[in-house]
Amino acid sequence: MRLSFRAAAAVVAAVAAVAATAVPPTFALRTYNASAPLDETATLSWTLTATDVRFGLVVTDAAVVNGSAVWVGLGVGEPTSGSMLGADIVTAEMTGDGACTLTNRHVPSVAIPLDSAVGGDAIFPVPDEACAAPAWTLAACAVDAAAGTVTLEVDRPLAAANAAQDRPIVAGRNVLMYAYGDGFGYHGGRRHGTEIDLTSTGRVAVSAGSLAESGLLPADVSATQRLSVPAYPVSPNRTDYGCSSFEIELGPGAAGRQIVAAEPVIDLTTAAGKLVHHFIVLSCERDEVWTAFVGGGDCLTTQPRCRDVVYGWAAGASHLIMPEEAGFPVNQEERSYILQVSGSGVTSG
C-alpha cells in the first residue's frame, strides 16, 4: 500500500505483490478503449460512453474452452463490501451448436441456497423479472477452441433499469466480478472480483495505486511511502496472516508529519495479489513484537500490540483521503506501524 504525507504530513500505501503472470492477448470481436487482466485466465476490455459501457470478456482456461456446456458471467458488485450479495450479473450459456443464451440476473441481498437443478431459470443468482428494456444486452459470444478462448461481449446502460435488481455503473471506479465454468452450476474457484476505473484507457493494471496520477491528493502532500509484506506461506484450506513492521520517516529536522491519504497497491495479475483478502495498517508500540516483524513474518498466532487502525482495505474498498483539517500524527513518539495482510488460499466453499 502507499501512504501520502503533508509537509508536516505523509501518506502510506500497502502492497502485496509477486512476479506478474503473463496474460494472453484479448481476442475480442470489437475494438475497445481499455483492457485489464483480471487474472491469468481472463481479460476484460471496455469502452465507456456518456450513457453506456461496452464490455468484452475473454477467458482462456482450456478446461472450459474445450467444455461441452460452457458458461461465463460478468457482474457489478455491491460497492461497499465488494461481495456477490446484492450484485447485478449477466450470464451467457454456450452450447456445442454455437447457440448462446444470455440471462440478466441478480443476487438478492439475503443469501439463498443453490438450487439442485442446473441451468436456465433454476440457478442462483436468480434471473431478473421480465423487463421491456433489459439491463444487459448481448453483442456477441463465441467459443473458439483453435484460439483457446471463450468470448462474451455485452452492453449495458450506466443507469440501472430496475433499482430492485440492477446496479448503476459509474464513470469511475466500479467493483466488477466474473465467473465461468463447464456445466452451469457453482463456479468454485473459477471466479474473481476487483475494482476497475472505467474512465481509464489503454492497458490498465488492476488495483494499482493511482492517487498521485488522479489529482485527488491534497495540494500540500510532500512525500509518500510504500509499505509491503514479504512473501509468506498461505495454506490451501484456511486464512493466513502476514505482518511487516515499518517506521515512517520524519520531516526535515525531525519535524512531525501527518498521514493524510492511503491507497491499496495490489497487482491482481500475480499469484500473491489474487490471494489478498484484506489488509490493515496499525499504529503500534515499538516493542519486542514490533521488532520481531521487521523484515516480515507469519502473524497468524502472534498478534501485534497496537493502538490504532490507520487504514484498512478489503474487496470493494477504496482509497482514504483525510479532510483538510485532519491527519494521523507522525512524530517521535508515534511513528511505528505494522502492515497486516490476510491471505486466503481457499478456492471453494
Average pLDDT over residues 200-207: 67
Predicted pLDDT of residue 33: 92
Residues 87 and 13 in one domain: no
Q: Does 340 reside within a domain? A: yes
Q: Does 65 reside within a domain? A: yes
| Domain of residue 331, CATH code | 2.60.120
Indicate whether 8 pLDDT > 50.
Answer: no
Q: Is 100 helix (H, G, I), strand (E, B) or coil?
A: strand
A 10 A CB-CB count for 127 gives: 16
Residues 64 and 10 in one domain: no
What are the beta bridge partners of residue 251? 255
The grid coordinates of residue 331 equal 512524530
Cβ atoms of 182 and 68 closer than 8 Å: yes
Which residues are CB-neighbours of 290 under 8 A, at least 6 positions away? Answer: 245, 284, 304, 305, 336, 338
Predicted pLDDT of residue 50: 93
Residues 51 and 10 in one domain: no
Q: Does 308 reside within a domain? A: yes
Boundary-marking domain end, from 168, 200, 232: 200
Q: Does 205 reside within a domain? A: no
Residues 180 and 47 in one domain: yes
Average pLDDT over residues 169-194: 76
Residues 179 and 54 in one domain: yes
Residues 62 and 188 in one domain: yes
CA-to-CA distance for 277 and 16, rounded, in angstroms?
11
Indicate whether 5 pLDDT > 90.
Answer: no
| Domain of residue 84, CATH code | 2.60.40.1210
Predicted pLDDT of residue 184: 63
Average pLDDT over residues 129-154: 83
pLDDT tens per residue across span 99-112:
788 888 877 765 44
Q: Give the percent of the chain with pLDDT over 70.
A: 70
Indicate whether 266 pLDDT > 80.
Answer: no
Q: Does 206 reside within a domain? A: no
Predicted pLDDT of residue 304: 77
Predicted pLDDT of residue 39: 73
Residues 223 and 190 in one domain: no
Predicted pLDDT of residue 144: 85
Residues 8 and 81 in one domain: no
Residues 191 and 334 in one domain: no
Boundary-marking domain end, from 200, 229, 260: 200
- Looking at per-residue pLDDT, the higher value among 257 and 83 belongs to 257
Q: Does 26 reside within a domain? A: no
Q: Does 128 reside within a domain? A: yes
Boundary-marking domain end, from 200, 234, 267: 200
pLDDT tens per residue across span 315-330:
667 778 888 888 888 8
Predicted pLDDT of residue 133: 65
Predicted pLDDT of residue 188: 59
Residues 244 and 266 in one domain: yes
Indicate whether 73 pLDDT > 70.
Answer: yes
What is the count of structural domains for the chain?
2
Which residues are CB-neighbours of 227 under 8 A, at least 6 positions away? Answer: 1, 2, 3, 12, 13, 14, 15, 244, 246, 281, 337, 339
Cβ atoms of 223 and 255 closer than 8 Å: no
Predicted pLDDT of residue 262: 86
Torsion of CA 154, 43, 280, 325, to 10 degrees: -60
Cβ atoms of 9 and 259 closer than 8 Å: yes
Residues 176 and 270 in one domain: no
DSSP state of 237: T
Q: Does 61 reside within a domain? A: yes
Indicate whether 206 pLDDT > 60.
Answer: no
What residue ranges in 108-253 does DSSP mark as E strands? Answer: 126-127, 137-144, 149-157, 173-182, 191-197, 202-203, 221-228, 239-247
Predicted pLDDT of residue 169: 92
Give the residue from 212, 200, 273, 270 showing the smallest Cα distance to 44.
200
Which range of residues forms the domain containing residue 189? Answer: 34-200
Of the listed ranges 13-27, 202-216, 293-307, the one predicted with least confidence: 13-27
Residues 223 and 320 in one domain: yes
Is residue 190 very low, low, confident or very high in pLDDT (cuts 50, 70, 90)?
low
